[in-house]
Chains A and B, each alone.
Chain A
């Protein structure tokens, strides 16, 4: 026989859909700009007090005026998010690995993890302040309890969805459970894990702000609380804007990580 396959049915490559992507952003941008314009107009026309609803222009002024304070608070919060996020991912992966590798321990642990997921974690914030004080530790703890679950769950789903005939193949050559875990289950779970990680990135932002609300002397959550007691609503909105920017930044950082870690995974955006 020839060395060539007799027929070649390789799939055509997907064309870049950059222009399609920018085209799909356009409606969202227009809606956002229109909302800001209506908001500005409504506040001016109806003379709404700045401490109830500040106009976008007032928020922008506050952002510029308090830039130094806000940047410093943003750095503090970003540090908490990053640290808490990393701890959540590491702990979430560890729990998933233990559940899959040690069957008995897994059956003991999994129901407890699910049970714990149903505890309203925001309510834990005051307890964490009580236990760990006002520093970094309670924020990390809070982010951890909020964000580890999607990591664990997504990785478990990935590790348990390995095709049975692939496992048969592995068993037929005498692969050990550890070999199957490390060579098949863990890499197979990476696309799921990355999806869970993106959710964890978003939840980490929430965890940090909740932690700062419960007790802090710095960070964007603290700025929001402090500014609202001063009826400086424009500053509250300015800080909220920065929280959102942080959330988006962490989400896309996780997405970039995904593209680097699992370039072979199917992408949702390439529908």
Chain B
């Protein structure tokens, strides 16, 4: 397992780890006497796009919360650029996006986009915040919907505002928990493509929790497969498809091969079991 994790560290030799933005070592999480995550080793290189995929109940969302500092690991340690996650979050290094956009219905898109930034940095004036919010909406392709309230936006547009809100913090890493899980297939593809473009334009590190095989392969550089009972990383897969990728990548024979490979990995991850 450790060997696979190191391989997942990417394009550079395994012994060079200082480029890792996120590094989790031996992380276990016990909640209500249940072992949710067991001995997770994960490294996320700076600027990479990493997906966590696994069956329901494998603890992939919990892992993301551990990385975000929202859940304290029972064992092991996590560092984000050398800081504990909660501290990194306070320094605005972590941007969070959940399945529900969680926009404030009484604020328009631009004020929603700058809302967290306004909490994090009280020295910014209202016009600073507006400018930053507008800039981020432009980035996610919603520049001309700045004054619309959430109830005037579609599900995909709301999720774009949620991404803009996370990016407004100028975080080092974007942690996304099934951000497109509630969207229809077409919107989902479009959102994935937009996310890739945002990633390439901003150079952020992205960790994406997903249950979509296609999405994981279309977007990520590295995919980690989580198994259930207890949640653990069972396999890791490098996606060697060149960037920039667009939706036509899904017709690439290599893409199809990777889908088959990942599906096989996922199937075996459904088998409960400990670490050998």
Contact = CB atoms under 8 A, between A and B. Distances in A.
A172 B160 contact: no
A7 interface: yes
B106 A264 contact: yes
A173 interface: yes
A262 interface: yes
Contact of A173 (B102, B119, B152, B157): B119
B90 interface: yes
Interface in A1-59: 1-11
B174 to A, nearest CB: 12
Contacts of A9: 154-157, 187
Nearest to B175: A172
Interface string A164-189: 01101111111100010001100110
Contact of A184 (B104, B138, B156, B198): B104
Contact of B100 (A163, A173, A179, A266): A163
Contacts of A10: 152-154, 157
A172 B100 contact: no
B156 A187 contact: no
Contacts of B89: 172-174
Nearest to B122: A179
Nearest to A183: B119
User: Most chain-B CB neighbours within 10 Å: which of A4, A6, A183, A184?
Assistant: A6
Given A1-B141, A175-B119, A7 B102 contact: no
Given A172-B68, A187-B104, A165 B98 contact: yes
Interface in B34-70: 65, 68-70
A171 B194 CA distance: 28
Contacts of B69: 172
A168 B70 contact: yes
Given A9-B155, A174-B89, A168 B141 contact: no
A168 B143 CA distance: 27
Contacts of B169: 173
Contact of A172 (B94, B138, B190, B194): B94
Nearest to B191: A6
Interface in B103-151: 104-106, 115-116, 119-120, 138, 141-144, 149, 151
A56 to B, nearest CB: 46
A34 B217 CA distance: 71
Contact of A7 (B120, B138, B187): B187
Interface of B is mostly: helix
B186 interface: yes
A10 to B, nearest CB: 5
Interface in A151-171: 163, 165-166, 168-171
Interface in A213-271: 262, 264-266
Nearest to B198: A1
B194 A1 contact: yes
Nearest to A165: B98
B120 A5 contact: no
B105 A264 contact: yes
Contacts of B187: 7, 9
B193 interface: yes
A174 B122 CA distance: 11
Interface of A: 1-11, 163, 165-166, 168-175, 179, 183-184, 187-188, 190, 262, 264-266
Q: Which 3 A-B pairs have the closest CB atoms?
A: A9-B154, A1-B197, A6-B190
Given A9-B187, A10-B153, 17 more contacts: A1-B141, A3-B138, A5-B141, A5-B142, A6-B190, A9-B156, A9-B157, A163-B102, A165-B98, A165-B100, A168-B98, A173-B90, A173-B119, A173-B169, A174-B119, A183-B115, A183-B119
30 contacts: A1-B141, A1-B193, A1-B194, A2-B141, A3-B138, A3-B143, A4-B144, A5-B142, A5-B156, A5-B157, A6-B190, A7-B186, A8-B154, A8-B157, A9-B154, A9-B187, A165-B98, A168-B68, A169-B102, A170-B119, A172-B68, A172-B89, A173-B92, A173-B119, A173-B120, A174-B89, A174-B90, A188-B104, A190-B106, A262-B106
